[in-house]
Chain A
Amino acid sequence: MGPLFTASDEWSFVIALVIGIAFGYLLESAGFSSSRKLAGVFYGYDFVVLQVFFSAAITAAVGLLFFEYFGWIDLSAIWVNRFYTGSAILGGAIMGFGFVIGGFCPGTSACASAIGKIDAMLFLGGFIIGVVIFDAFYPFYEKFYKSGNQGPIKIYESLGMNREVFLLLFVVFAIFAFVATAYIQQRVSQKSKKY
């Protein structure tokens, strides 16, 4: 039964490399190597970010549930992100600014750099500067950074819902978003924003 290795197992490094290759290949193939295509999600001319993002999330979430039903994976053994309320909210908001201004996120800028996008390389350079700045002034916000720790809490626990019911709603919401954005994209591109 999975997970087969722990994250610090040397086999995990080899597998991570292979997973990374697939990840980078798929990002580039879907068009995530173009900042103008990525930024489209904020202006309604291209929703590829949302389409790929949510179809990947629901596939993985539903898949994990089935893996558990079949007895292939022990879900209590997999790593779940810790929720630090204030830090997560602030971090998400700053990343929102970074995305709209910079047109990439770290993963997409890595794969865009690999095909020669200079704006992606500059974004990565800026990203490293940002990380250094965070580290340089860390004592000023260390307390805030570590506050509000709710541990590896799941969304259905936060909402007081049944896991399967939540997942069903999530899938329905994603499908609704796919249909709605397809409609918006058609309307916006009729007004012509070819790039």
Chain B
Amino acid sequence: MPDKLSDIYINKIKYIKMEEVKLQKPPKKYMNPYLAGVLLGIVILLSFYFTREGLGASGAFKRGVAKVEQIVIPSHVESEKSAFKHYVKDGKDPLKNRLVYMIVGVFIGGFLSGAINRRLKLKLEHSPKISSRKRAIAAVIGGALFGIGSAFGRGCTSGAGLNALSVLATSGFVVVGMIFGTGYVIAWFFRKLWI
């Protein structure tokens, strides 16, 4: 009876897997969100105190794109047609900017927290109701929209949002209101991606 034999193997595999799970300690709990928020607020405050400017994430990627364009298609990026001409003006290096150093820090900091809290794992996270493929496509499309949106918005949730709220800039309240307002209006149409 081949069925019986395969059952034995399946049970054995299950047993081994359970043993593995027991050996690995579970990830630690997330930090209290209000504590994390207050600490992040202090980080923003210190950033202004030391460097005159606050946080930002999208700027570094725009500068990365400008750098590649400077090498590959300098005639475009240096022309009037490019949105990034001021990054490369007079042969400037677009990567010589504090935001680039900051995003490198974000990767390091994220990795450190993941390592300390046992959350380092190669994984494509998605709702059990959708396939990995669907999540992957949605992630790329969402990312592309965010790229275009943050270019128009002159920054993303960090720079044009959180940072601008901290200095009480009108733009920050408008951008944050639009991001979350639009999000709530359209959430129902995309609910199958998440719930």
- Contact surface of A with B, Cβ cutoff 8 Å: 2-9, 11-31, 33-36, 39-43, 45, 48, 51-61, 63-64, 67, 72-73, 77-85, 87-120, 122-135, 138-139, 141-142, 145, 150, 152-158, 163, 166-167, 170, 178, 193, 195
Contact = CB atoms under 8 A, between A and B. Distances in A.
Given A23-B106, A27-B106, A114 B48 contact: no
Interface residues of B, number: 120
Contact of B37 (A34, A56, A78): A56
Contacts of B140: 102, 122-123, 125-126, 129
Contacts of B175: 88, 91-92, 95
Interface in B105-149: 105-114, 117, 119-127, 135-136, 138-149
Contact of A134 (B147, B163, B174): B147
14 contacts: A11-B50, A19-B43, A24-B105, A26-B40, A55-B41, A77-B52, A101-B145, A102-B146, A105-B57, A107-B55, A119-B124, A122-B139, A125-B140, A153-B169
A127 B146 contact: yes
B149 A81 contact: no
A80 B53 CA distance: 8
Given A61-B165, A96-B183, A110 B110 contact: yes
B167 interface: yes
B61 A127 contact: yes
A113 B34 contact: no
Given A73-B49, A95-B146, A100-B182, 4 more contacts: A3-B51, A53-B162, A107-B106, A119-B124
A96 B168 contact: no
Nearest to A77: B52
B34 A55 contact: yes
A106 B150 contact: yes
B186 to A, nearest CB: 6
A60 B150 contact: no
Contacts of B6: none
Contacts of A195: 127
